[in-house]
Structure formats: structure tokens, C-alpha cells
Amino acid sequence: MSRREVRTNTATQLSRAQILDATSDCLHQFGYDATTIRRIASQLDCAVGSIYRYFRDKRELLYAVTQQTLEPVADAADAGQTVEEGERLYRQLVGSAPQVYRLMFWLACVGNDDGVHDHLPTVVGRIIKGWSVLLGDIETAQSRWAALHADITLTGYRAMVVRVTQSPVDERDHRQALLSTLPPLPRQPASDHAIGTEQQPDHIPEQAHSDEDVCLL
């Protein structure tokens, strides 16, 4: 069978899940900048256009991939798992992929044309909404998530400072500084809203930009 026939058959059978899996593999192996649509298509042995059938660009594709990390927490909340259990699972999943977690919040803001900079990743909105049902109050659910997110972020920041400077971190000062930077949470549950930072996170190692990156970001 010729390579062209292989590509045609792959394009016909290609699924969204296969694209997400291949993208996740590329992201962890090569880093954000080197994870291009062309590289992903090469890994899948398909045409670039086959990926564009499902995703508009690189940002949208990577945004979907990064949110997969926390989907088990959202699913568990929808299934009635307690908030305490959800928080433990959230910590466990973020701990296994801290760089992807930071990248998810960055991607939630980058590329938005509405001028709003306090977006929450969709999966986080789902988690808050699920917790609000369990707790009976949206503001309590928002506060629980915000405290969890701040603590996880602080823990990561403290570890980074200690690793780089070999100096202890004043937890109270840095916790207060971190909380002061968090945008206000939405007052209504909104699975399509998110907050994050506009700065590219100190995440997965950056690689040299390719011409394709300029077009796809």
C-alpha cells in the first residue's frame, strides 16, 4: 500500500480522541513551541487538513488537550463525588502535570478577542458548577476552588524559589501576594468562562519557533 493510500485511510478513520492523544504525546516530548500541527500530523501519518477538520488552530487544540487533565474531577463532581474527594483528586492530577496546568490558564486568555481577561478554563467552570450543586451555593464553591488553586500555585512557586535560590520562602507574604493577583470570580456558574494570566507560564521547555508556529498561534 502506498503512503498516499495510508494517509487517505488514516484521514477517513481519524478521530478527535486520536488527535488529542497524539498532541499530548508531542507536548510532553517536544514542548509547547515544537508541538506544531505539522508535527502532530506526521505522528498520526495523516494530512494536516485532517486535523483542521476538528480544530481551528494550534491554540484551540492545545487548550483542549490541557483541559483533559482535570476532566476526571469535573466528571466526578457531576457524579456526586464529595468536594473533599474532588479536591484531593484535583491536587493529585495537577501534581502529576503542573506545567500543563499552568499552560491551560495561559491558553484560556491568549487568543480571546472579547477583551475579557478573567476567563476560567471550561473544565474549571464545570468543576465549580458541580461543586456548587453539592455545596448548595455557588459562592462557596468558587471560594473553595480559589483557595485550592491559590494553594497549589503557591506550593509550586515556593518549590521553584527554593530550587533556584536555595532560600526559604516566607509563605504568608507570598500567599497574600498571590491572592491579591487573582481576578474576581464570576458570580454565576459559567462553564465557558475562565481566569488566568496573560503571561506565558514557566512551563514545558520552549523550542525554537518554526514558520508554522507564527501561523498557528
**pLDDT score recorded for residue 156:** 57
Which pLDDT tens digit goes with each residue over 2-23?
344 444 444 457 899 999 999 9
> Other CB atoms closer than 10 Å to residue 1's CB: what's the count?
7
**176, 108: one domain:** yes
**28, 110: one domain:** no
Cα angle value 178/168/96 (rounded, 5°): 65
Residue 186 located in a structural domain:
no
**96, 7: one domain:** no
Residue 193 located in a structural domain:
no
**pLDDT score recorded for residue 106:** 92
Which structural domain, as residue segments, surrounds residue 40? 3-64
Task: Please identify, among 32, 64, 96, the residue that sits at the C-terminal boundary of a domain.
Answer: 64
- pLDDT-based confidence at 25, cuts 50/70/90? very high
Which pLDDT tens digit goes with each residue over 55-79?
999 999 999 999 999 999 999 999 9
More reliable by pLDDT, 87 or 208: 87
Residue 74, amino acid: A
**pLDDT score recorded for residue 111:** 64
Tell me the whole-structure pTM to 2 decimals. Answer: 0.68
**44, 121: one domain:** no
Cell digits for 214? Answer: 507564527
- pLDDT-based confidence at 115, cuts 50/70/90? low
**25, 75: one domain:** no
> Other CB atoms closer than 10 Å to residue 125's CB: what's the count?
20
How many domains does one find in the chain? 2
**53, 40: one domain:** yes
Query: What distances in angstroms separate CA 16 from CA 4, 11, 13, 71, 100, one per listed residue?
Result: 21, 11, 10, 16, 19
pLDDT exceeds cutoff 70 at 170: no
